[in-house]
Amino acid sequence: MIILRGIAVSGSIGMGKAFLFTSKPPELRRVRIPEKNIQTEQERLEAMLTSTRKELKELQAGIHKSLGPEFADLLEVQIQILSDPSLLETCKRNISEAYSAEYAFSKAVAEIARPLLDAKDGLFKERLVDIEDITNRVLRNLLSLPSVSIIDAPRDSVVLAHKIPPSEIVLLDPRRVRGLATEMGGRTSHVAIIARALEIPAVLGVEHLLEKLKDDEQVVVDGQRGQVVLAPTEHRVSIYAAEIREYAASRKSLFDEAKQAPITLDERKIDISANIELTSEIGALKRYGAQGVGLFRTEYIFLTKRRFPSEEEQYRIYSEAAIQLKPHPVIIRTLDIGGDKVLPGYEEANPFLGWRAVRFLFDNEDIFLAQLRAILRASAHGNVKIMFPMISDLSEIKRAKLLLKRASEELESKKQRFDSDMEVGIMVEVPSAALMADRMAKYVDFFSIGTNDLTQYTLAADRGNEKISSLFNHYHPAVLQLIRRVIGAGHKAHIWVGVCGEMAAEALGVALLIGLGVDELSMTPGAVPVACKIIRNVKVEELRRIANRALGYSTPVEVIRYLRRELSRKYHDLAVLFLERKNVCYP
């Protein structure tokens, strides 16, 4: 048995036989052709480029219909490469030197790829994956070779690969594939985004994965712990099988729980929403019982396109979400570029603390205004709200609202419809915003507390740094004091306050946040049923007393220990959730 570690990007556990996916282009030699065949060879290549482009467009149309526009957009880069006249021109020039079509094409795309080879930016590296993928596809078509596809993965298999290109990852079938692991990729890669949307357990960035693998051997992908287990022992298989059965049984029973309103025993309604990245997740959101979207992370639309989408492209996506979820709210966060989410051309020495989110958008008003207009136009189709991230100063709220007003006036001049009363809120994820919440509350309609960044910035502990992972803790008294301050300031100003960070998806966090007075909780769709179960079996007044006592402790360890003890004693039927070590709202 071998246990490898990587980045956990999609929760739950998958187990099955290994299916090794490889996508290496065919090996080519420098083949010369007779001069009399040059024109025929040029025509053969041009016809094959046209045919391959048509093949990709048909694939894109099918994906658009089955998975949505964001997934279909992953193929747009490849279609654009094949549509570039300069590519055909370079290929023809190479053929005119008496090279075969295969070698001429390979030589041409190598020139396109050369500047990307040394790129450090993950998105530029993904562009390289696109080029390799299109090279493979065209060469196999030219040589009439059979294609190797992820669609061939047998039922109950675990897909393992060095990397998976966009044209293949969109073919994943969650009914057949039990898990996914790759040597390349991170939390914001296209593979991670699609794995989460399809609810396939996935671990990426697993070093030396293929070196250790034997094809067709048993593999476990633990998307909760970030582990890949090769050739597990019978004992380990039985443990994971039991976890998978327990998960399936709990999930089935909790679907019924999620259909009931999230109202406490003393009749306080807590709004339960979902965090989403793509409109394709709306089906899961509804299945799990969420009442709308509490955080629509729009940067993932930008990431799947790997460019800045137009106003029209964004409008279509936002309005689709609004229509599907009407009358429930869809809270759209403006672009939060930076941190662990970057786009081509974005350069920042310190992306977590520097030129990020609204700071970037203020310096790129055309991008900001296009997104604001798209969101405003979508508000005509449903209950849309807008939220500005990474606010640290009151002047930023004023400036963002002025640009929103400007976008509104531009739409009015064109007689385009939008909701003039659309609610405007901010993410409270910077300590300065939490400390100034009483003043900021006068300028917005709601607060949404981002506990991930608020914890990170309050404790000066990078949430992605494993060396200091013990310091990153939502239950640190300093973080809890800031959360209570924000909730109090919001309610004093008569605005509602939500939480959309990871803390809202933790059993202890749900109970504690309700006790602190939060009005709304937004979490990953899969966490909704357990959160609903907790809400329906507690009393706000009891939780308020417990929360007040918890804030009297001096360390996060003391807070967690007290919450586990007191909540499990008070609510016996929920004890298994509050005592669970990993403490997340997943069955």
**501 and 449 in contact (C-beta within 8 Å)?**
yes
CATH number of the domain enclosing 206: 3.50.30.10
What does the block give as tokens for 58?
A: 């048909």
Asked if 318 and 435 sit in the same domain, the reply is: no
DSSP state of 12: S
Asked if 445 and 564 sit in the same domain, the reply is: yes
φ, ψ dihedrals at 153, nearest 5°: -60, 125
**343 and 127 in contact (C-beta within 8 Å)?**
no
Asked if 398 and 438 sit in the same domain, the reply is: no
Residue after which a domain boundary falls, among 143, 172, 193: 143
**376 and 411 in contact (C-beta within 8 Å)?**
yes
Asked if 156 and 132 sit in the same domain, the reply is: no
pTM over 0.85: no
Do β-strands 227-230 and 2-5 pair in parallel, antiparallel, or remain unpaired? Answer: antiparallel
Asked if 462 and 557 sit in the same domain, the reply is: yes
Asked if 493 and 460 sit in the same domain, the reply is: yes
CATH number of the domain enclosing 550: 3.20.20.60
Residue 553: per-residue pLDDT: 96
How far is it, in rounded angstroms, from Cα 211 to Cα 168? Answer: 22
Q: Exposed/middle/buried for 248, CB within 10 Å: 0-12, 13-18, 19+?
A: exposed
Map residue 118 onto helix, strand or coil.
Answer: coil
Residue 586: per-residue pLDDT: 45
Examine residue 586 and state whether it is found in any structural domain, yes or no: no
Q: Exposed/middle/buried for 478, CB within 10 Å: 0-12, 13-18, 19+?
A: exposed
Q: Exposed/middle/buried for 491, CB within 10 Å: 0-12, 13-18, 19+?
A: middle
Asked if 458 and 385 sit in the same domain, the reply is: no
> Residue 69: CB partners within 8 Å, gap ≥ 6?
279, 313, 316, 317, 320
Domain that residue 355 falls in: 297-422
Please state whether 310 falls in left (phi above 0), alpha (psi between -120 and 50) or beta.
beta
Residue after which a domain boundary falls, among 115, 143, 171: 143
Asked if 131 and 216 sit in the same domain, the reply is: no
Examine residue 291 and state whether it is found in any structural domain, yes or no: no
Sign of the alpha-carbon torsion through 423, 424, 430, 434: negative
- Which helix (H) or strand (E) element contains residue 63? helix 38-67
Examine residue 292 and state whether it is found in any structural domain, yes or no: no
Mean pLDDT by 10 residues, the chain (587 residues): 90 90 79 91 94 91 79 82 91 93 91 68 61 86 84 90 85 90 83 85 92 84 92 92 82 72 94 92 90 93 77 94 97 84 59 81 95 98 97 97 98 97 97 97 98 92 72 94 98 97 92 98 90 94 97 96 95 87 49
Asked if 412 and 434 sit in the same domain, the reply is: no
Asked if 301 and 411 sit in the same domain, the reply is: yes
User: Residue 343: which of 123, 139, 580 has the closest Cα?
Assistant: 123
**462 and 425 in contact (C-beta within 8 Å)?**
no
Query: Which ranges of 144-221 does DSSP label H, i.e. alpha helix?
Result: 166-169, 190-198, 209-212
Do β-strands 13-21 and 218-222 pair in parallel, antiparallel, or remain unpaired? Answer: antiparallel
**Number of domains the chain is built from:** 4
Residue written as token pair 């979902």: 274
**Residues designated as active site:** 190, 500
Asked if 323 and 366 sit in the same domain, the reply is: yes
Asked if 530 and 510 sit in the same domain, the reply is: yes
Examine residue 248 and state whether it is found in any structural domain, yes or no: no
Query: Which ranges of 144-176 does DSSP label H, i.e. alpha helix?
Result: 166-169
Examine residue 541 and state whether it is found in any structural domain, yes or no: yes
Examine residue 283 and state whether it is found in any structural domain, yes or no: no
**264 and 544 in contact (C-beta within 8 Å)?**
no
